[in-house]
Structure 1
Amino acid sequence: MIGRLARFFGATLLFFGVAAPHSAAAVETARQPTQPIECRDIYFFGGHGLGEGGVEDWGETVQDVFDKYLRGIRDADPDVAVGGESIGYPRTEFPDWVKLVRERFSNGQEEVINGAIALNNQLTERYRACPNEHFVLAGYSEGAWVIHLYLKNLGTRVLDRIAGVALLGDPQYRGTGVIPKWYSNHAITPYFSPAIEDRVASWCVSYDLPAAKRTVFDPVCHYSGLGPGSDLANCQKAAKGELDKVWCPHLRYVETGGTKRAADFLVSRS
């Protein structure tokens, strides 16, 4: 699996997304590598976006999905044991878009490949140790792409143990994501394998904004340009605190109910 990821995708995968500021709170459910595995009924893996989270922190967006998922599971069946941990790839700071465009993305970033490899290692460890455990995956922004890449290369035996997948602000989003729109040679096709399509949901937020006199879109999963006043340019300003977050749907999956929809979907598949 690891070899296939590295050989097939190389070292040039880029992530062009934006993400919410870093959440200072560590994920309490993250399992330290030195701790023994305690098998659960369901285990949750979460992937953070650029500019948030880290190796042991899945960021505030996925944290909200997990919190709502846990409440939903407990309401449905309080006897179900649920655990979770972050996908162990490091935090990367929010990029300077103008610089990235000027350099034509020539340097690249390997976070997505590293994240997919980390998820493979972490999930495989639990798959082998806990034969009755099932998994749910949730990813936001860069984390959505990490999970997407992992699923692309996954064999059916492990796939059968994945109960549900929820993605938010996916740069690979079908047809309109920044990757298929801007760097189509890195687009993952088909968007999801038919073998798991009924267990996967992906959301891309948009809403009418009177101040803009138009509908504003999450530019990571609905890319429409980089010029002044574009959704992507506004998101960059919002991420830096130079513009109200309402101008950037990508930063508002909690406020717009996206995390609740993701959690409800995962509960329905668990």
Structure 2
Amino acid sequence: MRRITATIASIVSLIVAGVIVVAQPAGAEDYPPLATTSSSCMDVVVIGAQGSGQTYNENRGLGPEVWHGLNYYVGHMAGYDVGYFAIPYPSADVWVLATKSTRKVFWESIDSGVTETLKYLEARISRCPDEHYVLAGYSQGAMVMHRTIQLLATGKASKQLNAAVSRVDGVLAIADGDRAKNQGGISYDTAPLDGAGIWWVSGTGGKYKPGAIVPDVPAWPATRFHSVCHDDDVVCDPNLFRVDYGLAVHTEVYRADGESAAFVASAATAIAQQSKQLQPTITSLTLPAAIAGTSYSAQLVAAGGTEPYRWTQVSGLLPSGLSLAESGLISGVSSDPGSGTFDVELRDAQGVIDRATIQIVVSEAVVGEINISLSGAGCKLPGNSNGTYKGYAFAVSINNTSSIPVTIQSTSITLNGVSLGDTALVDLVPPVPEVDPNPFVLAPNGVAAGALLTGNASNSQNGTLTITYTINGGTPISVSTPVSSLPPIENASCTAFTAAGKEKLALLTGIPL
């Protein structure tokens, strides 16, 4: 570590002469929304603090550096409600550090920022029990957020705030004057890990130093702290012999067009990933259909947050005969065709909540049989076929002997265990062949005979072909059959289809016979 013995006044005298004020970038998008203490609750609020001397007409009170990080964070949080709030604090100019008599103004400015951040958190947390937060600051603002998280994670704030520290997804500290030697957390940019910010250096910060380095406790691990510092930055990695250069670094490189912009973006992206991991999200928004009079079972699924999960139905109606267990299992027997739409709530072990609206359709019971027959005969489609299907064409027949339409959904098709991708049914009976969607509907007492197309091929030309499908969203059914050699479809030795059938398939593949 480079040892700096200069007084703070000698450094500030150089800084004051070269302070650069950065204007808001042209065309900055008007997002995310401002989240005041009375605004509606959100998934995440980014709480920002600008740097020394920056004003509230710069990037909505955040300054260009924090605003750059905010934009990257929001860009990786699609589907989440994200707001921001700029902490109203003096953000005192650095010139007050030049003399001993005015130095306390700077310390009081930081204290004010910490107090205002805690007040804002107190107001939001009491109203929004599921809301998460990101703390972000630049220069003096980074010190505000560094000290705020120290108070929260070490139990030195209010009881309510201390208990909510796990809801702080991350801290983005840009050019942090409180950066300490080997402080922990995750570091970005070129400053050495054994360097330190100006307020840790002997003779500069006096007694006004942070009470801890980077907190690391079970409720708030140090990996949530992200520090961005460029080598020789006059605030976070000062070098007495390069003060002019360090000033330029500090005031220029962290902006959206600066040399270290990519490091700020990387840190913000990492915090966004952390936010997603900490926010439980219901992923099973579509459930299989039930069949009247048949036993039904479907498990609700979520990702992120902290297990175990607890599920409850908060509104709406499940289909009659079905019920939701706290484990998320929906089960029972419904006797009445129709549908049920209901809202479920997921609460994780930390008390964080997600909600979703789900519908279950109950189909009429199938009276009769639905048979899918695969002969195992087929053709390898040409690699230059048009459209999605460039794998195989297998001869198939489907017979619906029931008195109701049935929806057949192919869930997978494999050859020797290797997936063949998407599937589609081609009915070769009509004069002009048509590719039916997957799932497809077969009329009562209907018969479909034609080709089952696959999106991909495998390295094997023979083996075991297995198709797995559902009827009216019921229990998956698998049918397997041996497959022999699969020559190209235009080859005369492909006998799986008649000449007329191959001609119709050629219309779809674009390969003339």
Q: Distance in 1 between matches of 2:24 and 2:92?
A: 15
Residue equivalent to 1:185: 207
- Return closer, same or farther for 1:166/1:125 CA change in 2, 3 Å cut-off: same
- Return closer, same or farther for 1:127/1:183 CA change in 2, 3 Å cut-off: same
Counterpart contact for 1:20–1:49, Cα < 8 Å: no
Residue equivalent to 1:253: 254
- What is the aligned length? 222
Q: Which amino acid aligns with 1:219?
A: V
Q: Which amino acid aligns with 2:62?
A: W
Q: Distance in 1 between matches of 2:237 and 2:213?
A: 15
Picking from 232, 238, 256, the partner of 2:243 is 232
- Asked if 1:204 is matched to 2:224, the reply is no
Q: Distance in 2 between matches of 1:168 and 1:104?
A: 26
Q: Distance in 2 between matches of 1:161 and 1:44?
A: 12
Secondary structure of 2:207's counterpart equals helix
Shift of 1:81: 0.9
Counterpart contact for 1:166–1:265, Cα < 8 Å: no
Counterpart contact for 2:76–2:272, Cα < 8 Å: yes
Q: Which amino acid aligns with 1:183?
A: G
- Return closer, same or farther for 1:67/1:204 CA change in 2, 3 Å cut-off: same
Q: Distance in 2 between matches of 1:251 and 1:166?
A: 18
Secondary structure of 1:52's counterpart equals coil
Shift of 1:252: 0.9
Shift of 1:233: 3.7
Could you tell me which runs of 5 or more consecutive residues in structure 2 were left unpaired when the two chains were aligned: 1-11, 156-161, 182-195, 276-513
Residue equivalent to 1:267: 272
- Asked if 1:170 is matched to 2:172, the reply is no
Superposed, 1:108-187 pairs within 5 Å as 108-109=104-105, 110-154=108-152, 155=155, 156-175=162-181, 176-181=196-201, 182-183=204-205, 185-187=207-209
Secondary structure of 2:76's counterpart equals helix
> Between Structure 1 and Structure 2, whose CA radius of gyration is higher?
2
Secondary structure of 1:186's counterpart equals coil
Q: Distance in 1 between matches of 2:24 and 2:101?
A: 29
Picking from 39, 42, 45, the partner of 1:40 is 42
Could you tell me which runs of 5 or more consecutive residues in structure 1 were left unpaired when the two chains were aligned: 1-15, 207-216, 237-244
Q: Distance in 1 between matches of 2:124 and 2:68?
A: 23
Shift of 1:91: 4.4
Aligned CA RMSD, in angstroms, stands at 2.8
Residue equivalent to 1:220: 235
Shift of 1:100: 4.0
Secondary structure of 1:108's counterpart equals helix
Secondary structure of 1:40's counterpart equals coil
Shift of 1:125: 0.8
Residue equivalent to 1:83: 83
Q: Distance in 1 between matches of 2:245 and 2:66?
A: 23
Q: How far does the alpha carbon of each residue in 1:140-178 deviate from its partner, in whole angstroms, 9 at most, with x for none?
A: 101110111212222331211111111010001113110
- Asked if 1:54 is matched to 2:56, the reply is yes
- The percent of aligned pairs where both chains have the same amino acid is 23
Secondary structure of 2:172's counterpart equals strand
Secondary structure of 1:44's counterpart equals strand
Structure richer in helix, relative to its length: 1
Residue equivalent to 2:438: none
Q: Which amino acid aligns with 2:200?
A: P
Q: Which amino acid aligns with 2:143?
A: W
Residue equivalent to 1:73: 77
Structure richer in strand, relative to its length: 2
